[in-house]
Amino acid sequence: MIWRKFNGELILTPIRQSVEEAINGEMVYGNRLKVCIGTDSQVKGDETEFATVIVFLREGKGGFMFIHNEKTLINYRIKERMLMEVSKSIDIAYQLCDLFIKYDIDMEVHADINTNPQFKSNEALREATGYILGMGFAFKAKPEAFASSSCANKMVH
């Protein structure tokens, strides 16, 4: 998996190591962090592109994020695609959660799924909520899910 910073700089170390280095770097400056992980996707022709972000919020001092993009030729129905987004977020959250526990950092998984039943993505809300909460993670859906609906959304080309 290739990750990069917002400025486009590639992250050359494994993501777990990079996250731990970022946490340690922030602690040196006395910054208290919260992490939000989210994924968004976009379909263009035959291609579906996913962007997963790890957003680090510095309490009262802005933040930064790590980004991973991937493309596939799999043609998903809307509900499948929403659940695939959630799955990608959970996968990275699961890889990193013990780091967040070790450093006492709150972490949330954000799903780009609308809580309003009038939107198609709402079909996936119940399963996504069960999946995320069942894994023991805090969860936010639209409109509070800024990691997926704002940050990741801007990273899908």
pLDDT at 64: 97
Q: Say how many domains are in the chain.
A: 1
Q: Is the pLDDT of residue 39 over 80?
A: yes
Query: Tell me, what's the pLDDT at 1?
Result: 86
* Residue span of the structural domain in which 110 resides: 3-155
Span 95-112, pLDDT tens digits: 999 999 999 999 999 998
Q: pTM of the entire structure?
A: 0.94
Mean pLDDT for 136-146 is 92
Length of the chain (residues) = 157
| Burial classification of residue 89, based on how many CB atoms lie within 10 Å of its CB (0-12 exposed, 13-18 middle, 19 or more buried) | buried
- Secondary structure of 7-62 as H, E, C letters: CCCEECCCHHHHHHHHHHHHHHCCCCEEEEEEEEEEEECCEEEEEEEEEEEECCCC
Mean pLDDT of 102-130: 91
Residue 18 confidence class, pLDDT cut points 50, 70, 90: very high
Q: Tell me the mean pLDDT in the region 57-85.
A: 95
